[in-house]
Chain A
């Protein structure tokens, strides 16, 4: 399974969309899953996604692979307050 934590206007895709709680939706893992494939299965429009996407707490984008058991955190386009320049590139890890 993959646990997807949703924020802002993306919370509507979770069973519990309360803004002062954790809005989590769990989906079964499939081989080759990426952030993009998972959001597509949930029906989240690409246009709603910002640049603050995380896989296991690491800065990610739509192409980032998602393993079984991963935690994915997705913020919408109007909430991307954290700069990507703060992070090391994904290849070298943090």
Chain B
């Protein structure tokens, strides 16, 4: 029987309860957003006792389904003041699913000062003091925790770094990868600060003795998972030694640069002259030179067949860090004007170690450079500034609060954000479709909230010509489809394959039916996505958001972006139409 584990940090008690009937088929983002919507007062202070942090593995997480180890983390965001779901690929959620735990709800707040570690295993859940693990870099904490709890094979770890301890709005929630590195982040929106506010430093999950995840219809599940696996194995982007496996997500640096949509030096330009030096191809070539071998990418989490997570190696061939994702590469690279991969790697490593969201911190440094705090391109100074965040110095506290606070502190009017969250690596003045997603997303500026899946495949919106789309309808359907994928436990990157190969998409729905015993069709994808978005939008409405928050920053309407020299010209009424019907 599947359960919800509730951890009350006020009374320091753990209790299990059955999954309520209304939540029977919910998991992943669907579950976290449901619980946050139903239990968290929308007007509460994100760092106060009434906020909650909810963890939920996806519908098929823990099964033999490929690329399905995403863990969703939800709560009210201290960065945006709205609802947040951030997810990561990690073995941690798999273990939770195998223990029959559909969600962990962390609520209340420690009354006295102190830090706690939660251990979850087949016997139950218990809190223990965690003072010893605080104030340290996570690359020191994780190996010590693995040693304490029986090793990498036995447990997976979720923790916050010092940024979470400082309750900084740019603090993420860290999970270990398969090698035990503290490198996989539910990064965005400051949920690490919320965990920190509760006094919860880490959650260790041991699934020893757990049973397999029960399947309602094994034949249907196997049929679906095989269709999806075939699609992933066949598609040029997701197959072994395909684009993601060879170059990682950083292959996008050159593509966005060519499109004139790579935000450069705090969104002043759409092309970066150093793009080729930091792109996925340069990472692959640099690793080959430094290690003497072709280094193909690895899986961030168990069961991933796409395997897009990379490493960067020092001149002596030793590993420097994992992972230089496109977003991190861009945030510290083009957006900060830095074209040196060793500096970018160090900045990624520091964020992993201090517990920070790389997108928010890269964007924040760019805003700070615009405000005269340092010079664009000075990678060594950027590294010093991230150390300030790790120290919790007054300057570090400002930077760790994100781009909007930093913009205020330094008197900068060019702050590329929506709802308080810094924009990711796609320039909306060059790529209008993603701009609409940024504007209306319930999460603030977020590229993953509407990244995928053509509406004509989903069939939720009638017929659409992809080359002449109704933008509002397109933005809406992208977001519905994404919310569904975020609830399955699959990585969003399965979209590349299931977008082009219809049987892969069918297989994804069949797998869910095989696990849950439901009879969903492709049409249900849109229905479920709408249900999730409706919950999130309702929460944000109650938190005080209006249509006026669904807007891009003013400077984008007046400052033309080279090389296209275009401004953001999508009418407000078009944005308001996205969720109007």
| A contacts, CB < 8 Å to B | 5, 7-8, 18-22, 50, 52, 54, 56-59, 73, 75, 77-89, 94
Let me know if B127 is at the binding interface, CB within 8 A. no
Contact in complex: B454, A85 (CB < 8 Å): yes
What is the distance, in angstroms, from B291's C-beta to the closest C-beta of chain A?
15
Chain B residues within an 8 Å CB radius of A79: 243, 247, 251, 255
Confirm or deny: B259 has a beta carbon within 8 angstroms of a beta carbon on chain A: yes
Interface residues of B (CB under 8 A from A): 236-237, 242-244, 246-247, 249, 251-252, 254-256, 258-261, 270-271, 276-277, 279, 281-282, 284-286, 426, 430-434, 452, 454, 466-469, 474, 478, 496, 563-564, 566
- Known contacts A19-B285, A20-B285: A94-B432 contact under CB 8 Å: yes
Q: Which residues in B have their C-beta under 8 angstroms from that of A18? A: 285
CB-based contact B251/A84 at 8 Å = no
Contact yes or no, B255 A75, CB < 8 A: yes
CA separation between A83 and B431, bound complex, in Å?
Answer: 10
What are 29 A-B pairs at a CB distance below 8 A? A7-B258, A7-B281, A19-B282, A20-B279, A20-B285, A20-B286, A21-B276, A22-B276, A56-B563, A57-B258, A57-B259, A57-B261, A57-B563, A58-B259, A59-B259, A73-B258, A75-B254, A78-B246, A79-B243, A79-B255, A80-B237, A81-B244, A81-B252, A82-B255, A85-B433, A86-B433, A89-B467, A94-B430, A94-B432
* A5 in contact with B258 (CB, 8 Å): yes
Tell me the bound Cα distance from A88 to B243 in angstroms.
25
A80 contacts across to B, CB distance below 8 A: 236-237, 243
Tell me whether B434 and A78 are in contact (CB under 8 A).
no
Chain B proximity of A63: nearest CB distance (Å): 13
**Minimum C-beta distance from A13 to chain B (A):** 15
A-chain residues with CB within 8 Å of residue B270 when the two chains form the complex: 57
Q: Does the CB pair B251–A81 fall under 8 Å?
A: yes
Bound CA–CA A21/B285 (angstroms): 11
| Closest A residue to B244 using CB positions | A81
Q: How many Å from the CB of A18 to the closest CB on chain B?
A: 7
What is the CA–CA distance of A50 and B249 in the complex, to the nearest angstrom?
A: 17
Shortest distance in angstroms between B460's beta carbon and chain A's nearest beta carbon? 15
Asked whether B256 lies within 8 Å of A82 as measured between CB atoms, the reply is: yes
B249 partner residues in chain A, CB cutoff 8 A: 81
Complex Cα distance A86/B478, Å? Answer: 11
Q: Whole-angstrom distance from the CB of B368 to the nearest CB of chain A?
A: 28
Which residues of chain A have C-beta atoms less than 8 A from B244's C-beta?
81
Q: Min CB distance, A54 to chain B, in Å?
A: 5
Asked whether A85 lies within 8 Å of B469 as measured between CB atoms, the reply is yes
Chain A residues within an 8 Å CB radius of B277: 20-21
Known: A19-B282, A73-B258. A89 touches B468 (CB 8 A): yes
Closest to B284 in A: A19
B566→A94 contact, CB < 8 A: yes
- Closest partner residue, chain B, to A23 (CB atom): B276
Give chain B nearest CB distance to A74 CB in angstroms. 9
B454 to chain A, nearest CB (A): 6
Q: Across chains A and B, which 8 residue pairs bring their CB atoms closest together, nearest first? A: A57-B260, A73-B258, A20-B282, A19-B281, A86-B433, A19-B285, A86-B431, A78-B236
**How far does the Cβ of B231 sit from chain A's closest Cβ, in whole Å?**
16
